[in-house]
A and B are shown apart, each in its own frame.
Chain A
Amino acid sequence: MNQAESQVIVPLGSEAHYWAERIYQKQPDFSRKRQIYLNVLAVHAVSQYFQWFGISSDWQTCDSHDPVLGMFMDVADLEIIGRGKLECRPVLPGEDHVFISSDAEEDRIGYVAVQFDEALETATLLGFTKTVSQDKVPLDTLESIETLLDIVGTSLVAPSPVEDISEAFLNWHEPVPLRAWLSNQFNELVAIGWQAFEAIERFITPESRTGMAFQVRSHRGAKIEAPIKLGKLFNFEKDGDQVALVMGLQEVEPLETEILVEVYPTGGHVSLPKDLQLLILDETGTAVMQTQACGSKNIQMEFSGEPGEQFSIKLAMGEFSMTEAFQL
């Protein structure tokens, strides 16, 4: 068996540690406290694994979670609903065997070896055995965890109703990498409707182009016109309003890129729709900058980012909005 490939990593979080702490604390016998803590963590690690597949397990009523029994028994049982109990045995870093306490029931469907890192933050399900004939089972005699899936069997997974899954996940697209833009490769951007600024310039109402447009800091700090700029026309279905969104990029340092975002009215309108909003979102979807048109002729926003950073530009008007994600 290829050990490394067949092992499963389960990150341990709040719930696993909460229960381990709650149960071990009650132990009057200090020498048993560590074993109890690790046993409970091991049970939760296996339970969490089965959660991935929608397989329900119950540990609340198991002996492993009974602090009274923990005074007198070394058990780490987990009930797999409808299948039976698994014994989940802890293995500490550096150990080459798993110790199976003779306190464990005879009718376990099997025994899982669970190894922990020093910080007890990560559990690794090392392997599985259906039966044991001795207390110490060498790790290299264990079967792979996938065998455990064969035994526990299929799960009845009812997918969440579609309403539960928000638009953010269903309409996701890979953020457009802007790195290529800086070296004049625009394929991905053209594919989603971006064009050279010059191609859409004629749609922008000339009177709306006020102020010092497309200014970014040069390497020496003076304001210059952004060398690379692209534009895209957006139609708002509701009113048939159309605006032009313009983006300018300038690499001011190797680790910093200035981004300029501007919005202009088209179709002869001199000012932007009143309730039009421009928002810049970070990778978590949180707005880090926003502004509303309020009858102004245009909107301009400037920010900078590091390579690898993601951001989204969101245009919103009433209920209608659209968002595009980019990565530097």
Chain B
Amino acid sequence: MNSNYMPQELDESYEQLALEAQKSPPGSVDRQKALSRLVNKIFQSGRLYRPSRQKVPPQFQGAYQEIINNALQLLAIFVCEHIDKYDPERGTLMGWINHLMAIKFIHEGIDQIQDKRLSRLGNRQELDEFIAAPSESSESATYKELRTFIEEDPENILRTLKMKSRPDITFQLVLIRRLNGQTLQEIANAFKIPLQTLAAFYRRSLHKVKANFRDFLDP
């Protein structure tokens, strides 16, 4: 049976968390912690309002969970900001929450779909399949060009960036190792230098030359 009505004793812990949050000053860490616990309890309640599918416009049927998730984020922000407006005399906390979802946040959740394109690859399995492709075809043409650019360094940009304390270590050398899959830690070990020094050099150099790599992004 579909019933949102629950016995009074189960609702008390929601009320307790709400009152605890109200007792602490707005913006205080204590209030944040109480709100954090309250929102999570609401999210895990299993009693949140979910519109029937007929209430979702046909063009958004495939984005049902995305709509709910958009609404939940808006709900969380609202409840945290306006927790002082909850009055236990008027009803249960979950009653208030579900009213807000039904009357406002589901609609706004749908509006957000209009603004942002729905992701198609939101599934780890699909991502795995994507990456499991054989190495030859898993590289785009752009990537091959990128590798060539780095290895040949036609404008002498990469090899002229050197570590102060170790001029034998050029940015080009480090970059090629990174592209081959080595971590900075592994490279630091190989060159017998501290990770922090290498990492700082790597990041600084990268920021210096990053404009040169913009052409290698996939469109």
Binding site for B on A (CB under 8 A): 7-15, 17-18, 20-21, 25-31, 33-34, 37, 48, 51-54, 66-69, 71-73, 92-93, 101-103, 105-106, 116, 118-122, 135, 145-146, 149-150, 153-157, 159-160, 165, 168-170, 172-175, 177, 179, 255, 283-285, 306-310, 327
Subset of 7 A-B contacts with CB under 8 Å: A17-B116, A27-B217, A30-B130, A103-B199, A173-B91, A283-B102, A309-B2
| Chain A interface, >50% SS class | loop
| Chain B interface, >50% SS class | helix
Q: How many A-B residue pairs have CB under 8 A?
A: 233
CA distance A153 to B39 in the complex (A): 19
Within B115-144, the residues touching A (CB, 8 Å) are 115-125, 127-128, 130-131, 133, 138-140, 142-143
Is the Cβ of B123 less than 8 Å from the Cβ of A18? no
Q: How large is the interface on B (under 10, 10 to 19, 20 to 34, 35 or more residues)?
A: 35 or more
CB-based closest 9 A-B pairs: A174-B91, A17-B119, A14-B116, A11-B69, A28-B143, A13-B70, A13-B69, A308-B2, A28-B142
The closest CB in chain B to the CB of A124 belongs to B40
Binding site for A on B (CB under 8 A): 1-5, 26-29, 32-33, 35-36, 39-40, 43-44, 49, 51, 55, 65-70, 72-73, 76-77, 80-82, 84-85, 90-92, 95-96, 98-100, 102-104, 106-107, 109, 112-113, 115-125, 127-128, 130-131, 133, 138-140, 142-143, 146, 175, 178-179, 183-185, 188, 195-196, 199-200, 202-203, 206-207, 210, 213-214, 216-219
CA distance A310 to B203 in the complex (A): 58
Is the Cβ of B131 less than 8 Å from the Cβ of A308? no
Is the Cβ of A103 less than 8 Å from the Cβ of B103? no
Given contacts A52-B35, A284-B51, contact A157 B29 (CB under 8 A): no
CA distance A104 to B123 in the complex (A): 26
List chain A residues, Cβ under 8 A from B84.
159
Is the Cβ of A102 less than 8 Å from the Cβ of B40? no
Given contacts A28-B142, A284-B55, A284-B103, contact A11 B72 (CB under 8 A): yes
List chain B residues, Cβ under 8 A from A27.
217-218
Q: Output the least CB separation between A114 and chain B (Å).
A: 14
CA distance A73 to B178 in the complex (A): 9
Q: Output the least CB separation between B88 and chain A (Å).
A: 10
